Amino acid sequence: MNKESPADKVTQARAYQAIRRRLSLFHLFLTPALLGILLVSEWTFRMRQNAIAITGGNDWGVVAVYFLLFSLYFLIFDLPLSFYSGFILEHQFGLSNQNFGQWLLDLGKKTFLAFALSLVLLEGLYGILRGDSARGWLWAWALYAFVSYILGKLFPVFIVPLFYKYGKLEDQELEAKIFRLAARFKMPVGNVYSLNLSKTTRKANAAFMGIGKTRRVVLSDTLIHHFTHAEIEMVMAHELGHYKHHDVLRLLAFGLVTSLVAFAAGFRGMGIWAASLGLGSAANIAGLPLLLLIFYGVHLVLMPLTNGYSRKRERAADRFAMKAFADKEVFISCMEKLGEQNLADPEPPAWYEWLFYDHPSIGKRVAMAKNYEKSTSLP
């Protein structure tokens, strides 16, 4: 079998990403459309009445049953899209290592986990609103902030292992190089973990996870097996940049500020429109579609700002890696290899990158490296 040329890989990546762009845009309009249908058709009121009938009117039970019906409604429409984007498309372009049963099991776990976490937040939200409707939005935001912080701690320790397994690096030479690099910048690393990402995909990735004692650097086995030591050290230097810049906390704080804006706008909008829609007050669970529509609108408005800030932090980590490792050719080869393995479009449409990308495109990262001039000081 002939090995694909770099040009063939780019063509394939552009075809793959063009489909993903269309799917993203379709989903972007599908969500508000489904929420709007619930309101316009008054199905949201029927769902609440069914919840009351099932639970006998218990406030906590009504929220739980309503949200179950609400989630099933969305699942009916989301499932075909998830199946195509997460299974068919990934196999079509040779990126998935899962059979249908494995994919379905993972989807089931993700769906249940998302439902359980969301239900906890909703029960807290409507419990707060029933007790203090005037300042409820602020207390609800505080609950969201607290849960976000706790999830940051729990995610690498309890949630990731539900889908993948951590392991120690078997390559002792590589492990020693990473420990030396971490020690150079006083990063406390008990272990650098490998993750069996190949269980599901051929894509490569690395991540800086956790807060405080749960903080860790994780390298996918697909990265370890297909990249040179120097390239992996460059990836590690990038993650060190995030550590030195406190990016986990920065991004958490930025997200909490934008969520505060969303909560303020959401409950302001509920105060304006709830009565005219027959909801009575924000404490009525039937108003959840309206509240989520407002949240979604705020999210769309703020998405370029949020992703722009994330790209800024990624660029800063790239610069740190370039200064720390001082070999731009390694950075370039690492980025190009990541682009090929993940089928990333090196030059996506500018408007799409501005709106959806939380990392700079591969082409821009490579261009930055090619124009890089060595600095004598680290940021």
Bridge partners of 218, per DSSP, are: 193, 207
Closest CA to 133 of 289, 271, 273: 271
Candidates 161, 142, 202; CA nearest to 340 is: 202
Q: β-pairing, 206-209 with 192-195?
A: unpaired
* Residue 244 confidence (pLDDT): 87
Quick one: pLDDT at residue 325?
A: 80
For 128, other C-beta atoms within 10 Å of its C-beta total 20
User: What mean pLDDT value characterizes the chain?
Assistant: 89
Residues of the chain within CATH 3.30.2010.10 domain(s) are: 166-236
348: phi then psi, degrees, rounded to nearest 5 = -70, 165
Sign of the alpha-carbon dihedral angle for 370, 371, 377, 379: negative
Q: Is the pLDDT of residue 353 over 50?
A: yes
Tokens of 114: 């998302």
- What are the tens digits of pLDDT across the range 303-319? 999 999 999 999 999 99
Q: Residue 169, Cβ neighbours under 10 Å: how many?
A: 19
| Contact by Cβ (8 Å): 269, 297 | no
SS3 sequence, 104-168?
HHHHHHHHHHHHHHHHHHHHHHHHHHHHCCCCHHHHHHHHHHHHHHHHHHHHHHHHHHHCCCEEE
Q: Which is more confidently placed, 124 or 137?
A: 124
**What's the rounded Cα separation, in Å, for the pair 356 and 244?**
26
| pLDDT at site 7 | 73
The pLDDT of residue 1: 40
Written as one string, the DSSP assignment of 169-199 is -S-HHHHHHHHHHHHHTT---S-EEEE-GGG
pLDDT of residue 336: 93
On the question of pLDDT at 131 being above 70, the answer is: yes
Model confidence at 2, pLDDT cuts 50, 70, 90, reads very low
- Non-local (6+) Cβ contacts of 178 within 8 A are 169, 189, 192, 217, 232, 233, 236
Q: Which residues pair with 206 in a beta bridge?
A: 219
Is 84 or 10 the better-scoring residue by pLDDT? 84
What is the sign of the dihedral through the CA atoms of 354, 357, 362 and 367? positive
Q: In CATH, what number does 166-236 get?
A: 3.30.2010.10
Assess whether pLDDT exceeds 70 at residue 158.
yes
pLDDT in tens, 13-35: 999 999 999 999 999 999 999 99
pLDDT in tens, 309-348: 999 999 999 999 988 887 889 999 999 999 999 999 999 9
Share above pLDDT 70 across residues of the chain, in percent, rounded to a whole number = 94
pLDDT exceeding 90 applies to what percent of the chain? 62
Q: Determine the Cα–Cα distance for residues 332 and 313; give it in Å rounded to an integer.
A: 19
At which residue do the structure tokens 């991004």 appear? 251
| 207-244 per-position pLDDT tens digit | 777 666 666 778 899 999 999 999 999 998 998 898 88
* Exposure class string for 289-323: b at 16+ Cβ within 10 A, else e: bbbbbbbbebbeebbeebbebbbebbbbbbbbbbb
Q: Which residues pair with 201 in a beta bridge?
A: 96
Q: Which of the residue ranges 68-72, 124-128, 291-295 has the most confident prediction, judged by mean pLDDT?
A: 68-72
Q: What are phi and psi of 275, to 5 degrees?
A: -65, -40
User: Measured at the alpha carbon of residue 296, what is the angle toward residues 293 and 298, in degrees to the nearest 5?
Assistant: 115
